[in-house]
Each structure stands twice: as structure tokens, then as C-alpha cells.
Amino acid sequence: MFLLLKINRQNADEVKHIDATELPVCLFKNADNHQTMKDFASFMRGAKGTYFGLKMHLCSDLKRRLLSIRFTTANKDEREMVMDLCKDLDGLFVADAGYISEKLSREFYQEHRRILFFKPRKNMKKLMTKFQENLYNTRMQIEFNFRDLKLFYGLCTSLPRSVDGYFTNYIWSLLAYQIV
């Protein structure tokens, strides 16, 4: 997996996308009794309600190649993972509104090497150029990555019965996605 990520980084496009997705490890009603991932998983309010699980942070390019992956507990802030996720990458990075932070933008920026664009919230008074709008319109590519991983490659499952089983399932799903 690390070799594939390294090859993808060398051949990456200039435009990259950053996002995170929720990985529930069991149904919410069973979370209090879940013993397998209790040391790694946590409760978090997500897009589909409260869940018990992990969060997968992902960086990919316009051709939907995976460049960097990190797994954290569900309650880890997305903005804390950006520097670690993109430390060896250069280019234009596009993120959603969950990454809005003036401090992060300043830390992330390196002149002539990398810059972070995030889609402003509706209540923000910020002017956007046509170029930035076109960049934001490509952000759907990373959502397609998450959809394919979850629906077609079985990334989200509650079948494993050990911690190794869960992480093996995650790695196999990511490998299958990259190879196909």
C-alpha cells in the first residue's frame, strides 16, 4: 500500500483534494457493548447522525488516485490532520468548509509550492474568482472516492471480530480500489 501511495505521489496532478469520512464499526444501538474497537473508536456526530467508529482522512488528486491516508478516532478534528496528511505534497489543495481556519491557511501555505483553498460557507462574505469556483467544482472527485470505497469495495463493515480484522479490511479495500 505504501509503495502504491509513493508512486501515486510522484505522478500526482497539481490539484489535490482533502477530506475525511466516517467509518462506523457497529450500529449505534450496539456501541455500548462493542468490545473489539473500543480502544480506537469513539462517538461522533456525523452527516447521518451519531455514530461509533473511526474517521479516515484522505488526500487524492484529480484522477482519483490516493496520495495519503490516515485513520483517527471519530472525534479528531479534520484541521489537525492536514499538515500530517500533506507534508510531502505540493500543489493546489481543495477542501470543504470543515477546514476553514486562518491559522491553518497560513501554516499550510508555502510560496510557489502549495496553497489551500476551501469553499466558503454561505454566511461568509468572501469574493471568489472563476478559477476558484472551477477548483471547488472538482471537489466532488473525493466524494466519489468515498462512495466507491464504501459501496463497491466494502470499506465499512461490522463483520471483523478483531482489531487486526478491521484494519486488514480497510487496507484490502484501499488496495483493491487502487489496483482496479
Q: Are 32 and 156 in contact (CB under 8 A)?
A: no
pLDDT of residue 30: 77
For the chain, which residues make up each domain, given as ranges? 2-179
107-164 per-position pLDDT tens digit: 999 888 999 988 777 787 777 788 988 989 998 999 999 999 999 999 998 888 899 9
Cα 180 from Cα 119, distance rounded (Å): 31
2-179 CATH fold: Nucleotidyltransferase; domain 5 (3.30.420)
Residues contacting 7, CB < 8 A, separation 6+: none
Helix H or strand E encompassing 4 = helix 2-10
Sequence-ordered strand ranges (E) for the chain = 15-24, 42-46, 49-61, 66-73, 91-95, 114-118
Helix H or strand E encompassing 9 = helix 2-10
**Which residue, among 46, 21, 43, has the nearest Cα to 31 in the 3D structure?**
43
pLDDT of residue 48: 77
13-28 per-position pLDDT tens digit: 999 999 999 998 887 7
| Prediction pTM value | 0.88
**Mean pLDDT of the region 75-87:** 91
